[in-house]
């Protein structure tokens, strides 16, 4: 099972990389975890994601992204893992300020005491950023992954990150 998940994850990254060249916007984000438990501290987990957005119509887009979280807690029930998600989103452009929210279905490589089951998982984010006239942006983003109660446990994972993006 682990071998199959590794190959699926690799295929997902290759598809993601191929589509970067065709995307309307590409991005990379780096951040830290926000814990849902008093026994863990802010920033104990590290998080990175990469992805792209294809704009469909007037602020609506389709987003595909993948990432990794590194588990920094001593709890043996918690695991580091890869994830990927795809789904729609909405961007409100109040130049130079922009507000963006995306949501989608996701899969994870390592179910643990926070996230049960590989699928179904869901990913949602909300960001506030600034975009210059060349199409480059920096934003602060809140990102959440959970099973929406379909699989237990469903504590979920929450992250705060800085995202850099550019529109082609």
Domain boundaries along the sequence of the chain: 2-167
CA 28, CA 65: separation in Å to the nearest integer? 9
Mean residue pLDDT of the chain comes to: 83
Q: What is the structure's pLDDT at 44? A: 76
pLDDT: which is higher, 84 or 40: 84
Q: Model pTM? A: 0.81
Reading the block at residue 13, the tokens are 């990254």
> CATH fold of 2-167, please?
Porin (2.40.160)
Lowest mean pLDDT of 22-26, 67-71, 158-162, name the range. Answer: 22-26
pLDDT for residue 71 is more than 60: yes
pLDDT: which is higher, 79 or 62: 62
Mean pLDDT of 124-150: 92
Q: What is the structure's pLDDT at 168? A: 75
pLDDT for residue 31 is more than 80: yes
Nearest to 34 by CA among 45, 26, 50, 24: 45
pLDDT band at 17 (very low <50, low <70, confident <90, very high): low
pLDDT: which is higher, 97 or 32: 97
The answer for residues whose C-beta is within 8 angstroms of residue 104's C-beta and 6 or more apart is 63, 85, 86, 87, 88, 122, 123, 124
CA 140, CA 117: separation in Å to the nearest integer? 29
């Amino acid at each position: 099972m682990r071998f199959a998940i590794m190959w699926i994850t690799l295929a997902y990254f290759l598809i993601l990389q191929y589509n970067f060249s065709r995307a309307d916007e590409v991005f990379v984000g780096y951040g830290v975890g926000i814990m849902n438990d008093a026994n863990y501290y802010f920033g104990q987990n590290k998080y990175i994601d990469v992805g792209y957005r294809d704009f469909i119509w007037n602020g609506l887009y389709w987003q595909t992204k993948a990432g990794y979280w590194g588990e920094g807690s001593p709890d043996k029930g918690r695991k580091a893992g890869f994830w990927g998600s795809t789904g729609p989103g909405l961007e409100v452009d109040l130049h130079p300020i922009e507000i963006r929210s995306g949501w989608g279905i996701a899969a994870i490589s390592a179910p643990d005491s926070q996230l049960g089951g590989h699928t179904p998982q869901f990913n949602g984010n909300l960001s506030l950023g600034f975009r210059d006239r060349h199409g480059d942006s920096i934003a602060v983003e809140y990102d959440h992954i959970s099973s929406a109660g379909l699989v237990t446990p469903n504590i979920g994972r929450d992250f705060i990150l800085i995202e850099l993006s550019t529109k082609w």
